[in-house]
A and B are shown apart, each in its own frame.
Chain A
Amino acid sequence: MSRVRRGLLIYLPLLLCSAVILLPLVYMLCASIKTNEEFFTSPFLPRGSGFLGIAWDHLTSVHYRRLFYDYAFGNNIINSCFLASATSILATLLTAMGGYALARFTFRGRSLLMGLVLGTLVLPNVLLLAPSYQLLYRLGLLDHYGGVILPLAAPAFGVYLFRQAFIAGLPRELLEAGRIDGCGEMRLFFSVALPMVRPMVGAFLLITYVGTWNNFIWPQIVLQTPEKMPLSVAIAQLRGVYFQDYGMMMAGTAVSVAPVLVLFLLLQREFIAGLTAGAVKS
């Protein structure tokens, strides 16, 4: 009896919290397949005489179709994919190489660079909004993808994380052995060093990909042409225009959110390992 009660005491709050956490996402999905006429008849799916008391035949894909035909949402999806891929690959490459050099070479200016990296680590991103905007204006990069990608391509915390990963996971002897075998430095990095920190590479790619996908303020400031906008900006504009078209708003949000959640479902181990790596060490 007390074991049952103890189990109840643990699982009841856990299941209750899970339900509350999933509720808004379920709500979003349900809202995106209801007609606007039936939107308010029930909080989730419309009632009817079908299986489970739900009017299945009343459900509609009209919001999704309108999204792609009337609003060219496909374009925004491609923009988001491109921006997130370009930024995450570039950022991972630059910071992995930088972290490798800081971890495994001694060179002039190394401690200066390390100091700079650690110094900017504590500065909040929003501090750079105004000066970066002015800089992009002078470089002629406003309303260009370069202006969105480059400022996010050299994150200091990435160099810091990769430096830690190389120090912990790449034995010096391995590099020495490679050099004695006559392996070139670039090949040594790509085929010996990088595979040793593969979990970090995966985690960092994922985190920067999702971070860029979800970034709103930066593309909102830099880009001006509607055709260039990623999903985050497009959805905010969609809400400004169609704020009473609930079904379409939720369909747009579902399309924007689904790829990231699927990615997480497939690769959750990498995600969580990457996120906690930084915290537990520092």
Chain B
Amino acid sequence: MNAATGRADMRTGWSPYAFVAPFVLVFLVFTAYPTLQSIALSVQQTYGPQASRYVGLQNFVGLAHDPLFWKALTNTAVFAAGSIFIQLPCSLGLALLLNMPQVRGRAFFRLVFFSPSLVGMIFVAVIFSLIFEKRTGLLNVLLHRAFGFDPEFPWLEDYVMPALIIAALWMYVGFNMVYFLAALQNVSPDLVDASRVDGAGVWHRFRHVTIPAIRPVGTFIVLLSLVGSFQLFELPYLLLGEGGGPNNRGLTLVMYLYQTGFETGDLGYASAIGWVIAMLLGAAAIMQRAVARGGER
């Protein structure tokens, strides 16, 4: 080993550690440690942040027999289904429209459609708490004037899930559209021309040219929607109150986590709910990879 390379090593030897050290320090203390601690907490029962006792897998057994947990899981799943089967097709439709070569003012439309997703969900909830109001709310007023719809329609009492799905649709339809627009750039114009020359119809072209091209990003958007849906909290929390409205109709998993952990004070039970959410989303992520890869074959 000669002196020159020795010096070079010494000069850069310490620096990578200096660069990663601040991140690693904060990451270890505030992400890695709490992640491990959440495993430990999930087998404990706590009374506030101090007192706790070991209960083994009782939290998970308790969850399996907890009707409120199942209610929250069902509600969350319904909301997620609404996001995927109502919101994403709308987003894709808008993206296809905006992607047409003759559209002018594309930047303007993109700006308008995207802007609601920057409004924090808690603020969206405050705005929609007025919009969903019976009789005086904007939605019922407009529906009544346009279609003679019942002005007393009780969105926040009996139609909680549609109300949540509508508010989320408003908020995220343009957000997902931007991803679909990016994905549509992968559609090869040559292939579109070729299929047109071959006399393929619009639907045929969509099915065999567009869909395969946007499949990888498409499955990623589905996963992203699932991740977001399973963490739904602010919207029902503010619109319906802590319990999720009458009969817990709008109680979501994260609301239940919040309720057990920070109202009741059982951080252990809350962590167990957290792990159920994590495992469900983990399974979804594995499925997404399989489906996205399946398209490449």
Interface set of A (CB-CB < 8 Å, partner B): 7, 10, 13-14, 17-18, 20-25, 27-28, 31, 39-40, 43, 93-95, 97-98, 100-102, 105-107, 110, 113, 116-117, 120, 122-135, 137-138, 150-151, 153-154, 156, 159, 179, 185-186, 189, 210, 213-217, 221, 232, 235-236, 239, 246, 249-250, 252-253, 256-257, 260-261, 264-265, 268, 271-272, 275-276, 279-280, 282
Residue of B nearest to A280 (CB): B182
Q: Does the CB pair A120–B32 fall under 8 Å?
A: yes
- The answer for the CA separation of A250 and B124 in the assembled complex, in Å, is 11
Given contacts A261-B119, A275-B178, contact A235 B126 (CB under 8 A): yes
- The answer for the CA separation of A132 and B267 in the assembled complex, in Å, is 10
Partner of B182, one of A17, A137, A189, A276: A276
Q: Does the CB pair B35–A120 fall under 8 Å?
A: yes
On chain B, the residues within 8 Å of A24 by CB distance are: 116, 127-128, 131, 138, 170
Given contacts A102-B20, A113-B20, A134-B37, contact A125 B123 (CB under 8 A): no
On chain B, the residues within 8 Å of A282 by CB distance are: 220
Q: Is B206 an interface residue (CB 8 A)?
A: no
On chain A, the residues within 8 Å of B147 by CB distance are: none
- The answer for the CA separation of A253 and B129 in the assembled complex, in Å, is 12
- The answer for the CA separation of A134 and B37 in the assembled complex, in Å, is 9
Q: Does the CB pair A130–B118 fall under 8 Å?
A: no
On chain B, the residues within 8 Å of A138 by CB distance are: 49
Partner of B23, one of A98, A120, A127, A151: A98
Interface 1/0s, chain B 154-183, versus A by CB < 8 A?
000000000000000010011000110011
Give the contact stretch, choosing among B62-70, B80-88, B197-205, B229-237.
B229-237
CB distance from B15 to the nearest CB of A (A): 4
Given contacts A24-B170, A123-B35, contact A154 B19 (CB under 8 A): no
Q: Does the CB pair A268–B23 fall under 8 Å?
A: no
Q: Does the CB pair A232–B122 fall under 8 Å?
A: yes
- The answer for the CA separation of A189 and B19 in the assembled complex, in Å, is 9
- The answer for the CA separation of A79 and B267 in the assembled complex, in Å, is 28
Q: Does the CB pair B23–A95 fall under 8 Å?
A: yes
- The answer for the CA separation of A246 and B119 in the assembled complex, in Å, is 19
Q: Does the CB pair A235–B122 fall under 8 Å?
A: yes
Main secondary structure of the interface of B (DSSP, over half): helix
Q: Does the CB pair A98–B24 fall under 8 Å?
A: yes
CB distance from B156 to the nearest CB of A (A): 13
CB distance from B259 to the nearest CB of A (A): 12
Q: Is B55 an interface residue (CB 8 A)?
A: no
On chain A, the residues within 8 Å of B98 by CB distance are: 14
Partner of A156, one of B27, B110, B114, B274: B27
CB distance from B115 to the nearest CB of A (A): 6
- The answer for the CA separation of A153 and B23 in the assembled complex, in Å, is 8
Q: Does the CB pair B261–A127 fall under 8 Å?
A: no
Interface 1/0s, chain B 201-225, versus A by CB < 8 A?
0000000000000000100110010
On chain A, the residues within 8 Å of B58 by CB distance are: none
Give the contact stretch, choosing among B188-196, B243-251, B275-283.
B275-283
Most chain A CB within a 10 A radius of its CB, from B98, B110, B115, B142: B115
On chain B, the residues within 8 Å of A43 by CB distance are: 138, 141-142
Q: Does the CB pair B119–A257 fall under 8 Å?
A: yes
Interface 1/0s, chain B 281-296, versus A by CB < 8 A?
1100100000000000
Q: Does the CB pair B20–A130 fall under 8 Å?
A: no
Q: Does the CB pair A213–B126 fall under 8 Å?
A: no
- The answer for the CA separation of A164 and B270 in the assembled complex, in Å, is 35
Q: Is B18 an interface residue (CB 8 A)?
A: yes
Q: Does the CB pair B118–A17 fall under 8 Å?
A: no
What are 14 sample pairs from A and B whose C-beta atoms fall under 8 A apart? A17-B94, A25-B119, A97-B22, A98-B19, A106-B16, A122-B281, A125-B231, A128-B31, A150-B26, A156-B31, A159-B23, A189-B19, A213-B120, A253-B126
Q: Does the CB pair B122–A261 fall under 8 Å?
A: no
Tell me the chain B residues, 47-75 only, with Cβ under 8 Å from chain A. Answer: 49-50
- The answer for the CA separation of A125 and B141 in the assembled complex, in Å, is 38
Most chain B CB within a 10 A radius of its CB, from A17, A116, A185, A235: A17
CB distance from A253 to the nearest CB of B (A): 5
Q: Does the CB pair B257–A214 fall under 8 Å?
A: no
Q: Does the CB pair A129–B257 fall under 8 Å?
A: yes
Q: Does the CB pair B170–A122 fall under 8 Å?
A: no
Q: Does the CB pair B121–A124 fall under 8 Å?
A: no
Residue of B nearest to A264 (CB): B118
On chain A, the residues within 8 Å of B183 by CB distance are: 280
Q: Does the CB pair B178–A120 fall under 8 Å?
A: no
Beyond the given A132-B34, A135-B34, please list 13 additional residue pairs across the A-B interface where CB-CB is below 8 A. Answer: A10-B97, A21-B116, A24-B131, A101-B20, A124-B278, A154-B23, A185-B15, A214-B119, A217-B234, A235-B126, A279-B179, A279-B182, A279-B217
